[in-house]
Structure 1
Amino acid sequence: MDDLETLPTRPLGRQGPVVPRLGLGLMGASGMYGSPAGDEERLCFLRKAYERGERFWDTADEYGDSEDLIGKWFAANPETRKDITLATKFGIKMGAGVPGFSVDSTPEYCLQSIEKSLARLGLPFVDIYYVHRLDKVTPIEKTMEAMVSLKTAGKIRYIGLSECSADSLRRAHAVHPVTCVQVEYSLFCKDIETPQTRLLEVARELGVAIVAYSPLGNGLLSGNIRSREDVSKPGDFRGILPWLDEENIQQNLGVLDRISASARSMSLTPAQLALAWLLAQGDDIFPIPGTSNIHRLEENLGSLFVSLSRDNESVLRKLSAGIAGGRFQVKSGYAFADTPKLE
């Protein structure tokens, strides 16, 4: 493909691959925020994203037909595989609706899941394989042993965790180096920084990168949600998010309005400012905003070329205070999950 663009890159943790600072979350492209578009439109979006330099793609086995779609992309564009760092995940079993799900991080389910993912993707390996959630029953050491066996077999290149506790990360890393932890992190959600979780602190101690999911607050920081009606389309799970509850949304829109005013003063959109803030937290932070809209993608990529001063960063922290409602992951019971000690 001609006229390919190059984005700023960094190593993903102490031992990971070099990837763009901004990844591409593909959950929304598969209908998690409403009915998905047709294959032709979605494959066109992937082509445009690739051409604009977006080569760090993130999906999961429970994101609708996302792995199948990516498989179609690589079948039609096999020459692009070498350029794309592809991450997928296992561990969440979707039930009838959201949050109707269960979690299984057993070695057996890990080994079954990778085979199904590779078959859907039509690939012999994926670059990063995440334990999407810890089931709080299986010792993390047992799950890691299965992940290491997949790496030894050449089916995965790097190991990631998601929504783990600092202790689970440390125990996992003792079995085999963990490349990255995927966790919610944004102007609206800074829980990984707290002394209660210590996740960011421990990740940095171990040289583990942070892949920040929901960096735009599930769309709230993009400025395109102004009422509950905006998340009421069939299939849009965001209506269950605590900070979009009827009793919280108006207060949170007030916080957003303060951030938006600051963005306008800098000739930025709220999304660009929110992503620039995350990028300013360190070279080990890799936001993965999700979109299926090329204009939104281009807007997000603009954040890579924004420099924030320490004063800007501090002011934004103060402006973002007062968010009401908390995280959905806390409500689900799987935030910063621990696992039993290995007997």
Structure 2
Amino acid sequence: MKEVTLGRTGIKVPQNGFGALPIQRVSVEEAVRILRKAYDGGMRFFDTARAYSDSEIKLGEAFGTGYVKREEIVIATKTAAKTPDDFWKDLDTSLTNLKTDYIDIYQFHMMGQCYKPGDGTGMYECMEEAKRQGKIRHIAGTAHKLGVAKELIESGLYETVQYPMSYLASDKEIELLKLCNENNVGFIGMKGLAGGLITNSKAAMAFISQFDGAVPIWGIQKESELDEWLSYMDNTPEYDSEIAKFIADEKNELSGEFCRGCGYCMPCTVGIQINQCNRMILMLRRATSAGWLSEHWQAEMEKINDCIECGKCMTHCPYELNIPVLLRKNLEDYKEVLAGNRKVQ
């Protein structure tokens, strides 16, 4: 497994990070077992957030109780705070949950702007003070919008940047990796499986392994998923001509606007499950159809007819999708599949 240095942080870890969002869906006991197995298998980078319900608590139970020496792992977490008071509350809660004296990489979560010293918000000053106090080691941010990510990288203020990065990325998004290296900024790649649209982990691993300074964090919920990623610790897939062709075919199939399923558009004002309904046809192609064609999902898809086009979802979509139009198109295609007039496999 390739070892990666995250920019000017100097942090060196194997290029296989653990994304701890999904462990909020399993019991504490199961999460602890999976996290410790990840460590025993060679993973050293663990990413979580205050917004991930009890994910931090589970990390604390796994590693804050003497199972490992603190300096043997790298913990990154996030605050979605918008005020200094909330910043300090989040930081203190995270330290308590994680059972640690410090956080290696502290990130502003899903930034809509690049906080800077003297901008009037006081947010960047909070990061600086937390670093002075030794509660955090490195100042960082996460973004879903290309322009914000680019500003973070070029500002000289952030030591790592987290941004969605999969083999479905556009050329402009891939340029962010080069920009990070030019500015000595570490790159943390989230959503490496594009919200479940990518099912070939070998291709996903081979793609990101081409780039220096990048650590992908794979969302892991099941032991079987962990085993797949651990298998690449000693036998990392290479980006060869076969994988390159496979990825080219995938990008061709998924060209144009499509929903990544991030869920930031939620909740819908009329109760539509936007993050699932808006990519239904893609999921039907890439997963067992029966589950998505159940009575439950038929009823959920019918809710698209209730859309009032209020536009609220579009104001939150980091990819600036025309959500009402895509929803109607998915409903139309879905009905064609139900009627037997269209094949999806």
TM range (shorter): 0.5 to 0.7
CA 1:277–1:14 in structure 2 vs 1: closer, same or farther (change >3 Å)? same
Cα deviation, residue 172, structure 1: 4.2
Amino acid at match of 2:201: A
Amino acid at match of 2:65: A
What does the per-residue CA deviation read over 1:103-162, in whole Å, with 9 as the maximum and x for residues that have no partner? x433333222111111111211111101112244x8433422211111111001112110
1:1-343 matches, within 5 Å, as 7-31=1-25, 36=26, 38-91=27-80, 104-136=81-113, 139-141=115-117, 142-163=122-143, 165-166=148-149, 168-170=151-153, 172-173=155-156, 176=157, 178-190=158-170, 193=173, 199-222=176-199, 270-280=200-210, 282-304=211-233, 305-309=236-240, 312-313=243-244, 316-323=247-254, 324-327=257-260, 328=262, 331=314, 333=316, 335=318
Q: For the residues of structure 2 that align with 1:150 and 1:191, how far apart are their CA atoms?
A: 36
Cα deviation, residue 188, structure 1: 2.6
Q: For the residues of structure 2 that align with 1:80 and 1:55, how far apart are their CA atoms?
A: 12
What does the per-residue CA deviation read over 1:295-332, in whole Å, with 9 as the maximum and x for residues that have no partner? 21121233451111367436623532242514446856
Structure number with larger C-alpha Rg: 2
Residues paired across the two proteins, number: 259
Q: For the residues of structure 2 that align with 1:16 and 1:314, how far apart are their CA atoms?
A: 35
- Taking only the aligned residue pairs, the percentage that are identical comes to 28
Q: For the residues of structure 1 that align with 2:178 and 2:14, how far apart are their CA atoms?
A: 23
Runs (5+) with no aligned partner, structure 1: 1-6, 92-103, 223-269, 338-343
User: When the two structures are superposed, what TM-score results if normalisation uses the length of structure 2?
Assistant: 0.67
8 Å Cα contact 1:212-1:286 kept in structure 2: yes
CA 1:15–1:46 in structure 2 vs 1: closer, same or farther (change >3 Å)? closer
8 Å Cα contact 2:109-2:141 kept in structure 1: yes
8 Å Cα contact 1:23-1:58 kept in structure 2: yes
Cα deviation, residue 26, structure 1: 0.6
Q: CA RMSD in A?
A: 2.7
Higher RCO, Cα 8 Å, sep 6+: 1
Cα deviation, residue 45, structure 1: 1.2
Q: For the residues of structure 2 that align with 1:206 and 1:8, how far apart are their CA atoms?
A: 21
Q: For the residues of structure 1 that align with 2:18 and 2:66, how far apart are their CA atoms?
A: 18
Runs (5+) with no aligned partner, structure 2: 266-313, 321-345
8 Å Cα contact 1:185-1:215 kept in structure 2: yes
